[in-house]
Each structure stands twice: as C-alpha cells, then as structure tokens.
Structure 1
Amino acid sequence: MTSFNLEGKSVLITGGVQGLGLEFARALSREGAHVAVTSRDELKAKAVADSLREETGGRAIGVAVDVTDSAGVKRMADEVMQSFGRIDILINNAGINVRKPILEYDEDIWDMVQSTNLKAPFLCAKAVVPYMIKQRFGRIINMASMLGTVALPERSAYCSSKGGLIQLTKVMALEWADHNITANAVCPGPFATEMNQVVIANPEANQHFLNHLPVKRWGEPTELAGLILYLASDMSSFMTGSAIVIDGGWTIE
C-alpha cells in the first residue's frame, strides 16, 4: 500500500501565494514536499516561501514569473531545478476571471484570460515535463473549474478557458502516460477565495449561488487539500486524464 507521504518530492505551484494555491502549498509542505510558489510579485513570492518554511519546517522557495511568457516560464523551471534538483509535481493553479457580458467583452481582456488560464498551463508543462521524462515520474494537476463543464452568464472567457484546460489535460495524459507521468484536472465549484469575494459580497449574487448548492454554503479552500494530496501522491498512480468535480453538488442536476 502506497501513502500520501511526499518526503523528498518537489512541487511547483503557479499562483501559489494566495487562495487555493497557498492552501495546496501548505498541505504539500506538511507532507514533506519541497515547495516552489510563484507570483508576478517577487517580494510576495519570497515572503510566502519564508512563511511556509516557518510554518512547516520544510524547504520552500518563491519565484517571480509571468506564466504567460514562455522565456520567463523556462527560467522559472530552471530555477526550481537548480534549487531542488527535480520537479515531481506541477500544479497549474494561476488563473483569472473577468466577468462581463459577451457584447461588452474587450478583445484584450479576452486574450489575457485565455493566456493566463489556458496558454500558461501549456507553457509550464512544456518547460517542466522534459525533466519529468528524464526522471521517469511526474504528476500534473491542472486547476480547471466546474465552469469548464457548465456555464454561467458573463463568464465567456473563463468558461471557455477552463473547458479548454480540461481537454488539454486529457491530451497531456495520453501523450505522457508511457513516461510514468499522470495529468488530471481539478474542477472546483464555488470556493470562498479572493477571486470570489466580489460575488460573496453581493447579496443577490451570493444568494443565487447558494440556491444552486445543495450543501447551502461555499466551499473552504482546506476542503480541496485532500484531493490535491491524493493526486500528487503515489496513491493516484492509476488515475490520469480525469476531470474531478468538487462543487458542493452544483452540477448534480
């Protein structure tokens, strides 16, 4: 029987300085993983790494990167390799959401959402997977969304990018299975993160969400940690190409 222990494994989490990404970093570090968190803001990335080391006693580094820039992403992967010697787990977590009706959506904003949510996981995988192939081990976890499978008004770019990420995950799984690399997508529903505070703070919008949730509440970031640990560990070695919905029951109907 394998375990969730990640002692000696190295994990790279894009957008790992807040929200779900930070929760993942904490959970993985507690299980012994060396953790690299990224942000566009170098000071913030390094401050979060400092707090992780203090909180868990594990190794952690903060890396500044624009995940939509291929050269920057390559430098990011090289920096993590120099620090840890390997990259076992890649969590493509960085993402944005801009809410507007389609007819009011600016082309530049559309491109920004697609680049961050869909292009960036493609670039990060291209930079990291060659190392995984050499070491004959890898876990790729792409943070998609339930909105990659169902839609909401004013989320055209977000829904499109997350649906594309689910499909990209399946192609990754097919192409790299022979190298002992798995790729899975996590599809969260409404979680109480920084990104969703604008909805939570709007009584009408918040009630609309609660009406669609059989559990009648928003999810807490800690409630995703167990799934991430499973996907990062040897326990999930037979799972690849899956899109796992964890949404409080929203998509049941």
Structure 2
Amino acid sequence: MRFKDKVAIVTGAGQGIGFEICRMLNLEGAVVILNDVDPELCRQAAEKINAAGHEVCIPLTGDAADLNFIQELVDTAVNRYGKLDVVIANAGITLYGDFFSYSKDAFDQVMRVNLAGTFFLAQAAANQMKKQNGGSILFTSSVVGHRALKDLAVYAMTKAAVEMLATNLVIELSAYGINVNTVAPGATLTERTAEEADYEKVWSEITPMGRPAYAADIATAALFFVSDAARHVTGQHLIVDGGWSAISTLPQGLK
C-alpha cells in the first residue's frame, strides 16, 4: 500500500497505459481522479477500478489541454480531499503524417494536447503542491523522443520537448519538495495498438526482449517515479522498450 492516503490525477486514462496506472495506484491505496476526453470510456474505466479497488476512483471527463478543465481537475482533488500528491500527465495524441505535407491543423492539435496540456497541468499541480510542501509529477514521453520513426516528426518533437520540460522544472520545483520525471514507453500492447495489423508479431520480432511492452510494464515504472521510494529522483527519463532503442531495428514499411 505505497499510496495509502495519497490523492492522484491521471489524464488520458480511459484505456491502455493510463488506465493501468490508475488501476495500480488505486490497488495500492490511492484515491484516483481518472480523466479521459471520452465520457463512456472514462465512466467505464472508473467503474472497473471501483469494482476491484481499495479506494475510490473518480471519473472526470474533459479535455486535458483546456486550461479551465485542468484547473477543475486540481480543484476537484483539493476540494474533496484537501490535497494533491501525484499528477501524471499521460494524455496525448498521435497524428501520423508525411513531413512534406503535414497540415497546420494536425500540427496544432498535437502541440495543444501533448505540449500545452502537459505544461499547464504541471503548472496547476505545482501551484497546489507548493502550498503542501511537496508532491510528484510525471510526464508520459515516448521512445520516439529518442529514436526517429517515419511520419512521426511532430509527435516525436513533442515527446522530446516534455522530457526537456521535466529537466528544466528541476530548477523551478525542487525547492518546494516537488519531483518531476518522465517515462518513455516503447511499443506497447494496448486496445489501440491491438487494432494494428500484426502489431504484436512485428514488434516481438524486433524487440530484444522478445515482445512489446504490456501496459503493466509502463505502469510499474510510473508508480516507482511517483512513490516515496523516488523522492530523491528528479529530472530523469526512463525508456521502457524491451531494449529496442539500443538496436533500433525498424519495422518493415518504416525503413
């Protein structure tokens, strides 16, 4: 029960990695505010966790890049429970596209969610955590912030940027007892990637550990960063990819 009496916010958590982070936090004692932009996904995810969890999981539907909603997330935690201990900025979108024809609209969408949403959630959370004398913030990055993949230039630059944001926030937040880190998933089996043809087979063949990650592999790393065991760990970036980035063998069709 590492997170007993802790209050956490996780964005983009209706399924996949975000959901598994919420589930694990809740099983280890945290009250979790679970956010997703899809109302049905958000509701169903919270119901699943509440059916098996030790503490309450509160669904809060909304756009994790909207400044008013970001403040609502923080206010919900504080108004109901008096504090905010953990914030995980997991919401993000991936819009593939050829560099030579990538649209301004797609560019703006990715920047808004992946960068502005992450930055302003961290800002709102940190302003609350300053009053409490501490807290933990985690950003979800990606292995493509370290290794290039075709048609992912815009997404990749946002993920590299959130890692630099975490590095820079060490200067801003350490004096208030707030640590900030990133976890960078590689290929991961989720509801979304399961829809891609041969995803598991392809990534199993080119990942040194013999398979893509499961959501639990990423969630386990995330929980370490926001646990008391990592209180002296800040400004760090952990790639969880089964060793793929060490060799970077590209899937067929992406070479």
Q: Deviations over 1:118-160 (max 9, x none)?
A: 1101011111111101111110110001111111001011101
- Which residue among 155, 159, 174 is the counterpart of 1:158? 155
**CA separation in 1, counterparts of 2:41 and 2:192?**
17
**Residues 116-135 of structure 1 mapped to structure 2, 5 A cutoff:** 116-135=113-132
**CA separation in 1, counterparts of 2:15 and 2:156?**
22
Paired residues of 2:18 and 2:90 also in contact (CA < 8 A): yes
- Which residue among 47, 58, 61 is the counterpart of 2:58? 61
Paired residues of 1:8 and 1:32 also in contact (CA < 8 A): yes
Q: Which residue of 1 aligns with 2:219?
A: 225
Normalising by the residue count of structure 1, what TM-score does the alignment of the two structures yield?
0.92
Runs of 4+ in 1 over 4 A off after TM superposition: 205-208
Moved more, 188-197 or 6-15: 188-197
Deviation at 1:198, TM superposition (A): 4.7
Q: Is 1:194 the equivalent of 2:191?
A: yes
- Which residue among 52, 77, 86 is the counterpart of 1:89? 86
Deviation at 1:173, TM superposition (A): 2.0
Q: Is 1:146 the equivalent of 2:143?
A: yes
CA RMSD of aligned residues (A): 1.7
Paired residues of 2:43 and 2:59 also in contact (CA < 8 A): yes
- Which residue among 95, 99, 105 is the counterpart of 1:98? 95
Count of residue pairs the alignment pairs up: 247
**CA separation in 1, counterparts of 2:40 and 2:208?**
40
Where do 5+ consecutive residues of structure 2 fail to align?
248-255
How many percent of aligned residue pairs carry the same amino acid? 28
Deviation at 1:54, TM superposition (A): 1.6
Q: Which residue of 1 aligns with 2:208?
A: 214
CA pair 153-48 structure 1, distance change in 2 beyond 3 A? same
Describe the SS at the equivalent of 2:213.
Answer: coil
Deviation at 1:40, TM superposition (A): 1.7
- Which residue among 227, 234, 240 is the counterpart of 2:228? 234
Which amino acid is 2:79 matched to? Q
Paired residues of 1:94 and 1:116 also in contact (CA < 8 A): yes
Deviation at 1:43, TM superposition (A): 4.2
Where do 5+ consecutive residues of structure 1 fail to align?
none
Which amino acid is 1:243 matched to? H
Normalising by the residue count of structure 2, what TM-score does the alignment of the two structures yield?
0.91
**CA separation in 2, counterparts of 1:21 and 1:115?**
19
Which amino acid is 2:232 matched to? F
Which amino acid is 2:48 matched to? S
Paired residues of 1:29 and 1:52 also in contact (CA < 8 A): yes
**Residues 19-98 of structure 1 mapped to structure 2, 5 A cutoff:** 19-98=16-95
Q: Deviations over 1:54-100 (max 9, x none)?
A: 21131111112211211221122112222222110000001111111
**CA separation in 2, counterparts of 1:117 and 1:93?**
9
Paired residues of 2:11 and 2:90 also in contact (CA < 8 A): yes
**CA separation in 1, counterparts of 2:74 and 2:148?**
34
CA pair 38-7 structure 1, distance change in 2 beyond 3 A? same
Paired residues of 2:189 and 2:200 also in contact (CA < 8 A): no
